[in-house]
Chains A and B, each alone.
Chain A
Amino acid sequence: MAEADETEQTDGAESTTGRELTMSRAMVDAIAAEMRTDDDVFVLGEDVADYGGIFDSTEGLLDEFGREKIMDVPISETGFIGAAVGAAQAGMRPIAELMFVDFFGVGMDQIYNQMAKNTYMSGGSVNVPMVLMTAVGGAYNDAAQHSQTLYGTFAHLPGMKVVVPSTAYDAKGLMHTAIRDDDPVVYMFHKRLMGIGWMPAPAGPKTPVPEDDYTIEFGEADVKREGDDVTVVTLGLHVHRALEAADELDGAVDTEVIDLRTLVPLDTETVLESVRKTGRLLVVDEDYHSFGVSGEIIARATEGALDDLSAVGRVTMPDAPIPYARPLEQEVNPGTEDIVEAVRDLAGTADE
């Protein structure tokens, strides 16, 4: 399960730009570029200044922009996330960091009753151009209050765009788009992908990243690997696990891997196109099993391509809080082997 994570970051030779970045550097690159061109952009959060963000999401920004722009705030999620909403409504472009997504409960009213709804409730006369970035995911035994993924919670509640990068290249492009967007964007990054010293990442997320600014449009899934037999739809860390699983199955099952990249908006068309071709759909999601992303994707596939589907399945977190002990967390967190097995099962259903 987590065993695949211990691999070292590789320095790939395919760099077209002469530089490869970790996902955290790529995010910071975009934030810095936006701050240089737009005075209204600023960052606020716990430990974002001197510490540079617990997961390096604001590393080095204090040096260039100072404390007025990179603001450490008291531990008071209701207060500072709400303040970001207010500043955004006043025309600024704040980036607020919620250190772990698990802490959302403390400030959730400001997130889903203010940030997400004010545009609608005002009949469109108010808008909230802010980014709420937050760390998600487990795989290092930090237990139930620090390991959740919660994609579904944020995507379920209308009014926020929800972005989940899986590579440094995407992290930068999606961050540029998020900051320029006139709506609130929840930018969820997986801790394991950031490339921080104390939490080794798998090889995939460190990619070549152009120096220049570029945006990635929301709602465009990325077909990471083409295949004819089974479609695996996933996002975040599990893009890399799915790719690993697909490699492992090479020769036996031809697996297509789709990285959703954004949940709101959701690129249903790319998923449908793929399942029309393969006829078999597996959704891999580190969020809880029920009432979430996996159910949604399968529902859309059945609505849009029922006749083409011969099998569906999902590999997800069970509906249990995330346990601490290693054998327990490994049991619940979907690993590469779980994906291999599920893809095999799906492929097998057609051969019988």
Chain B
Amino acid sequence: MYGWMVTARRYEERLQEEYLEGKQPAFDISAGPIPGELHLAAGQEAAAAGVCAHLRDDDTVTAPHRPHHVAIAKGVDLERMTAEIFGRRTGLCKGKGGHMHLFDPDVNFAGSGIIAEGCPPAVGAALAAKKRGEDSVAVAYLGEGAISQGGFLESLNLAAVHDLPVVFVIEDNDWAISMPKERVTDVKNGAQRADGFDMPGIRVDHDDAVAIYDAAGEAVGRARDGNGPTLLEVQVHRRMGHFMGDAEGYRPDADTERAKQRDSIERMETTLRNEGVDESTIDDIRDRSHERVEGAIEWAKDQPEPDPEEAYEDVFSNPPAGWTPTSEPAEPVGGDD
């Protein structure tokens, strides 16, 4: 778990550096080697590691717009994920998805940038497993800001009435862009929403990967044993802006400071030391993680960009005969004669 956590942290530090290239001095979102929005998850690594440690490749994970830490813990191909973020042809999605829409069917990982809309497909994956008599489970990640969304609540209900093997994981980082938690929900404990669906709800109040691991073990075990869904909420911390370029004018400095102090990675290191793991082992894991990240970034940057015409491929997996997506007409119509 520690390895995943430091890999995710390092990965995002490096992405941040790459992202800012060409966007200085004046921040221009469309400039540089990584354009578009970039949502980083620094401070949320424990939520990924603690849950995904229980998962196999055949278990499904759906991630929201802030996906890297979860993708890394789920075992998504790091090189191809990085190539995707750099918009390269050999990326996971041939450069069509980008960082919010990562798909790696080898490990059953899928993304969506629409809030809470990863929940219904997770329910669907669980439904498929149940129908086929398999013991795989599905995990849907969402933020605490997403728990007001209909797609989430409908998914809880559907999973509950059909006893489906799903774990809904709410990453509570206290903020939904500029909206603090108290302004979007009156319940302090998001896991309470489970009560309304007669489903177990568990909240882990601190971003301790081990405590999350224990709680997730219970939830994933319940799902795998055919005992239905669980709603698990874990406290995490958003160390940075909502997206790169967010000046966070709405957020008190003290809150950002507090988020940085409660660092799940430092906490994990302390746990490891207390367990008697020696310093050189910790250093070793960290060094190897950093090397892996560097390797992925270097590989990705060497990859070719897609050819423009590739934009027209993959709209359908089985394109109808004669169908063309191109807007360019063969020849303009008309003409004097």
Contact of A345 among B112, B148, B326, B332 (CB under 8 A): B332
A351 CB to closest chain B CB, in angstroms? 8
CA distance A169 to B96 in the complex (A): 36
For A47, A79, A318, A320, the residue with the greatest tally of chain B CB atoms inside 10 Å of its CB is A320
How many residues in A have their beta carbons less than 8 Å from beta carbons of B?
A: 64
Say whether B100 contacts A139, CB under 8 Å.
no
CA distance A328 to B97 in the complex (A): 11
For A6, A79, A319, the residue with the greatest tally of chain B CB atoms inside 10 Å of its CB is A319
Residue of A whose beta carbon sits closest to that of B113 = A145
Tell me which residues across on chain A come within 8 A of B87, comparing CB atoms. Answer: 141, 324-328
Residue of A whose beta carbon sits closest to that of B151 = A106
Q: Given A197-B27, A198-B27, A331-B309, A325 and B95 touching (CB < 8 A)?
A: yes
Q: Given A51-B177, A75-B115, A198 and B29 touching (CB < 8 A)?
A: yes
Say whether B306 contacts A75, CB under 8 Å.
no
B46 CB to closest chain A CB, in angstroms? 23
CA distance A54 to B116 in the complex (A): 19
Contact of A75 among B35, B113, B116 (CB under 8 A): B116
Q: Which of B162-170, B178-186, B225-233, B294-302 lines the interface with chain A?
A: B178-186
A5 CB to closest chain B CB, in angstroms? 7
Q: How many A-B residue pairs have CB under 8 A?
A: 186
Residue of A whose beta carbon sits closest to that of B145 = A75
CA distance A139 to B329 in the complex (A): 23
Q: Given A78-B150, A331-B311, A349-B332, A323 and B95 touching (CB < 8 A)?
A: yes
Asked whether B305 is an interface residue with its Cβ less than 8 Å from the other chain, the reply is: yes
Tell me which residues across on chain A come within 8 A of B27, comparing CB atoms. Answer: 197-198
Say whether B308 contacts A331, CB under 8 Å.
yes
Say whether A198 contacts B326, CB under 8 Å.
no
Say whether A72 contacts B96, CB under 8 Å.
no
Asked whether B160 is an interface residue with its Cβ less than 8 Å from the other chain, the reply is: no
Asked whether A83 is an interface residue with its Cβ less than 8 Å from the other chain, the reply is: no
Tell me which residues across on chain A come within 8 A of B98, comparing CB atoms. Answer: 141-143, 324-325
Say whether A199 contacts B332, CB under 8 Å.
no
A167 CB to closest chain B CB, in angstroms? 21
Say whether A140 contacts B332, CB under 8 Å.
no
Say whether A326 contacts B305, CB under 8 Å.
yes
For A51, A75, A141, A289, the residue with the greatest tally of chain B CB atoms inside 10 Å of its CB is A75
Tell me which residues across on chain A come within 8 A of B26, comparing CB atoms. Answer: 197
Tell me which residues across on chain B come within 8 A of A319, comparing CB atoms. Answer: 315, 325, 327
Contact of A50 among B28, B96, B250, B312 (CB under 8 A): B250
CA distance A143 to B35 in the complex (A): 10
Say whether B149 contacts A350, CB under 8 Å.
no
Contact with B along A164-177 (1 / 0, CB 8 A): 00000000000000
27 contacts between A and B (CB under 8 A): A46-B176, A47-B178, A50-B249, A50-B250, A73-B184, A74-B184, A76-B150, A103-B114, A140-B30, A143-B113, A146-B100, A197-B27, A198-B28, A199-B28, A199-B29, A200-B28, A311-B333, A311-B334, A313-B332, A318-B326, A321-B96, A325-B98, A325-B306, A330-B308, A334-B327, A345-B331, A349-B335
Which residues of B are in contact with A by a Cβ distance under 8 Å?
A: 26-30, 35-37, 87-88, 91, 93, 95-98, 100-101, 112-117, 145-146, 148-151, 176-179, 183-185, 245, 249-250, 305-312, 315, 325-327, 329, 331-337
